[in-house]
Amino acid sequence: MVRKALAGLGREFLHEIDTALERIEQNPLLYPAVYRDVRRAVANKFPYGIFYRIDRDSIIVFAIVHLHRDVSSWQDRV
């Protein structure tokens, strides 16, 4: 049974990720490079990082990773 306090949490998570992706799209240089030319944006309210690279006219998202776990797992995708 889902507690009422957690109801809607998934929707809120998706909203925060969408908001972070919109910020990346609007200003991809806003976030610092953390590994070579890969940048990381952090979602508000949730400990998730969005790892991406700017490639000519597009933005390539490699991973959305929980930051309290092994965050180096996305490096195999670069």
Residue ranges of the domains in the chain? 4-77
In this prediction, residue 78 has a pLDDT band, given cuts at 50, 70 and 90, of low
* pLDDT value for 7: 75
Q: Look-up: residue for tokens 């910020």?
A: 23
Alpha helical stretches, state H, 1-78:
9-26
Task: Check: CB of residue 24 under 8 Å from CB of residue 52.
Answer: yes
Tens of pLDDT, residue by residue over 40-76, are 999 999 999 999 999 988 999 989 999 887 766 666 6
CA-closest candidate to residue 66, choices 44, 47, 40: 47
Mean pLDDT of the chain: 87
pTM: 0.81
Q: And the tokens for 68?
A: 């309290």
Residue 18 CA to residue 20 CA, distance in Å, equals: 5
